[in-house]
């Protein structure tokens, strides 16, 4: 009997031991699984933190204007300078990023960029005390200059200008003809170019975009719609985008661009305005403001006590054409390259009329009229404005250092 009871006790002990062993095994497994889950969660947060830091870097790049150096990003007084303050991303995720800029070791000092290189640091933080940092070396793009749109408007607002078909200055696009503003890359002979499309019209302010879009798609007198009469478009992957009018973050300083071209040696200057037609030209007939073999910078400025600048007849040109004043580009005018309009006072405006053709790009600046920086322009009749990398290639190869370029990452480090 005692032996039986001892065996029962031993069996009970064995059962308890086995149960304890399995309980310990299960508990250990659960603890290990929990640790693995936590490790996996932390890893996930760390990966997300890197992605958020990179998003902050891209955010900062989008805010840096097209210029020639990075002094503006170092001008806070005591770099590193905050370009993007603490920003939540994505909303409600618990993640945020902050982006700062400092000069690289170029010998120019903390606030003086002498080699056109700066360092951006994007610091992210998130759940689980996750923190990651991305450091990137930034310089200006070395690619050929390409405008954000075939027609680029840097202004907070815009007003149309009057002409014979629009005497009340009510419309940007007149309502009885067919303007074309094409963002597809187009060679000077009309064939497709090698680059992708840009916007037909690119504006720096949504108010300008909205005004142009509303007019383009709206009703004109007589019930005709703008879209039936005009084309502001590009084609991407076989699909037409119309109207190709949009707001872009790329900010080009038109005044600085004009000043650079004005100060360039060899620039042909007309400082009292210029009027041409089929019989009155500054050179031979047709007027030539540069040729394909010898493109030039032509700078035309009005004194405002003379007649309007009017380029019409059979004027042709290659290179860069800068206007300061109230130019009217009309009749059979043809230009291949870059046209820049600088508004130096409130009466300055530009109008493209008749059958004027431009291959390359058109940059329109603004003037502060007291209610904000405003552009004044009109697109009339059978005007054709084409983005053309071919036409702009000659501009970039001859005067690329005078043109602003966007910021680009050329070295990147996850820290």
Q: What is the mean pLDDT of each run of 10 residues along the chain (415 residues)?
A: 56 64 59 50 73 93 91 92 92 90 85 92 89 93 93 96 74 84 97 96 97 84 61 91 94 96 95 78 72 96 74 90 93 95 93 95 96 94 96 96 93 84
Q: Residue 398: its pLDDT value, please?
A: 96
Q: Residue 36: its pLDDT value, please?
A: 46
- 3-state secondary structure string, the chain? CHHHHHHHHHHHHHHHHHHHHHHHHHHHHHHHHHHHHHHHHHHHHHHHHHHHHHHHHHHHHHHCCEECCCHHHHCCCCCCEEEEEEEECCCCCCCEEEEEEEECCCCCCCCCCCCCEEEEEEEEECHHHCEEEEEEEEEECCCCCCCCEEEEECCCEEECCCECCECCCCCCECCCCCCEEECCCECCCCCECCCCCCEEEEECCHHHHHHHHHHHHCECCCCCEHHHHCEEEEEECCEEECCCEEECCCCECHHHHHHHHHHCCCCEEEECECEECCCCCCCCCCCEECCCCCCEEEEEECCCCCCCCEECCCCEEEEEEEEECCCEECCCCEEEEEEEEECCCCCCCEEECCCCEEEEEEEECCEECCCCEEEEEEECCCCEEEECHHHHHHHHHHHHHHCCECEEEEEEEEC
Q: Residue 169: its pLDDT value, please?
A: 75
Query: What pTM, to 2 d.p., does this model score?
Result: 0.83
Residue-range domain boundaries for the chain:
1-140, 149-402
Q: Residue 37: its pLDDT value, please?
A: 46
Q: Residue 12: its pLDDT value, please?
A: 64
């Amino acid at each position: 009997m005692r032996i039986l009871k001892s065996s029962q006790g031993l069996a009970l002990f064995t059962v308890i031991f086995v149960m304890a062993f399995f309980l310990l095994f299960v508990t250990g497994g659960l603890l290990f699984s929990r640790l693995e889950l936590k490790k996996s969660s932390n890893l996930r947060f760390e990966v997300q933190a890197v992605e958020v830091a990179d998003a902050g870097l891209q955010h900062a790049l989008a805010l840096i204007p097209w210029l020639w150096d990075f002094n503006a990003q170092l001008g806070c007084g005591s770099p590193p300078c905050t370009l993007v303050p603490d920003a939540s991303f994505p909303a409600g995720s618990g993640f945020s990023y902050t982006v700062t800029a400092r000069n690289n070791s170029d010998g120019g000092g903390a606030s003086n960029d002498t080699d056109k290189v700066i360092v951006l640091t994007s610091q992210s933080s998130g759940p689980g005390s996750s923190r990651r940092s991305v450091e990137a070396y930034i310089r200006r793009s070395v690619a050929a200059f390409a405008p954000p749109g075939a027609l680029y408007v840097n202004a907070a607002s815009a007003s149309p200008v009057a002409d014979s078909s629009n005497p009340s200055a009510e419309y940007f696009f007149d309502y009885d003809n067919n303007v074309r503003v094409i963002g597809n890359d187009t060679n000077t002979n009309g064939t497709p170019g090698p680059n992708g499309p840009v916007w037909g019209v690119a504006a720096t302010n949504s108010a300008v975009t909205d005004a142009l879009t509303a007019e383009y798609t709206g009703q004109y007198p007589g019930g005709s719609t703008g879209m039936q009469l005009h084309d502001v478009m590009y084609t991407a992957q076989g699909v037409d985008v119309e109207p190709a009018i949009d707001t872009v973050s790329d900010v080009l300083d038109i005044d600085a661009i004009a000043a650079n071209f004005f100060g360039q040696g060899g620039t042909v200057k007309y400082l009292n305005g210029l009027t041409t037609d089929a019989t009155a030209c500054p050179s031979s007939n047709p007027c030539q403001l540069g040729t394909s073999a010898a493109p030039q910078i032509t700078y035309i400025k009005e004194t405002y006590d003379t007649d309007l600048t009017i380029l019409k007849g059979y004027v042709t040109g290659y290179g860069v054409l800068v206007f300061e004043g109230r130019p009217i580009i009309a009749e059979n005018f043809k230009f291949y390259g870059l046209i820049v309009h600088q508004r130096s006072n409130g009466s300055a405006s530009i109008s493209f009329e008749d059958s004027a053709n431009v291959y390359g790009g058109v940059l329109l600046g603004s003037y502060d009229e007291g209610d904000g920086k405003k552009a004044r322009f009109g697109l009339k009749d059978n005007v054709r404005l084409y983005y053309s990398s071919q036409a702009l290639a000659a501009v970039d190869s001859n005067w690329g250092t005078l043109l602003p370029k966007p910021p680009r990452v050329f070295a990147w480090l996850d820290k």
